[in-house]
A and B are shown apart, each in its own frame.
Chain A
Amino acid sequence: GAVVSQHPSRVICKSGTSVKIECRSLDFQATTMFWYRQFPKQSLMLMATSNEGSKATYEQGVEKDKFLINHASLTLSTLTVTSAHPEDSSFYICSARETPNQPQHFGDGTRLSIL
């Protein structure tokens, strides 16, 4: 149980392209989803928290116009990296949680490479 699917797993695109990443909870309803960025040999960096039907809450330093998050249903959240540039290249991981105090379950991540 508690499976989170993230798609695509790998994206390579040109600078200036917008990229959409999907995160789905397959066997539970996720009232909250989280988006992280992970750099090599570094910890998970929380970018934003999204609750179903509400606007996402962004962490300090994360541009909300750059990283658009939508959590329109209890099983789907999307992260759109708008006008991506090489410095946006990273490993993006989503997680989902059914209720507060429950553990987060992670997707397998999306490796984004901007040329």
Chain B
Amino acid sequence: QKEVEQDPGPLSVPEGAIVSLNCTYSNSAFQYFMWYRQYSRKGPELLMYTYSSGNKEDGRFTAQVDKSSKYISLFIRDSQPSDSATYLCAGSNTGNQFYFGTGTSLTVIP
């Protein structure tokens, strides 16, 4: 079983929609979680970094961690065509080594 599982998609939504991206993880000791956005032929760009459970909001992005179900989510409000990218989730127990999901490909259609 992989440490972090992520549906690869692809996911296609109309502009302005609310996007929900999700990952599950297997290690109950995970405390640190990250979401990255990766455009084609570029390195991942950090979007959100959270510790433990709960929500964290930054502009149109909200990261949510549910440790009881080992489920992490990223919500994008008012999605824009520029949000079209691959989104990677990652988790870690120590904050030292992170385990990445395979990424979800998102397309926002104008």
Contact with B along A91-107 (1 / 0, CB 8 A): 00101000011111111
Which residue from B41, B43, B46, B88 sits with its C-beta under 8 Å from A103? B46
When distances are taken between beta carbons in the complex, the residues of chain A under 8 Å from B91 are none
Q: Is B81 an interface residue (CB 8 A)?
A: no
Q: Is A7 an interface residue (CB 8 A)?
A: no
When distances are taken between beta carbons in the complex, the residues of chain B under 8 Å from A77 are none
Q: Is A78 an interface residue (CB 8 A)?
A: no
Could you list which residues of chain B lie within 8 angstroms of chain A, going by C-beta atoms? Answer: 8, 32, 34, 36, 41-46, 49, 88, 94-98, 100-103
> 12 A–B contact pairs at CB < 8 A?
A6-B43, A42-B102, A43-B88, A43-B100, A43-B101, A43-B102, A49-B97, A93-B44, A102-B95, A104-B46, A104-B98, A109-B42
Interface residues of A in 1-59 (CB under 8 A from B): 2, 4, 6, 41-44, 46, 49
Could you list which residues of chain A lie within 8 angstroms of chain B, going by C-beta atoms? Answer: 2, 4, 6, 41-44, 46, 49, 93, 95, 100-109, 111
Residue of B nearest to A107 (CB): B43
In the complex the two chains form, is B34's CB within 8 Å of A103's CB? yes
Contact flag A106-B96 (CB < 8 Å), given A41-B8, A42-B102, A43-B101: no
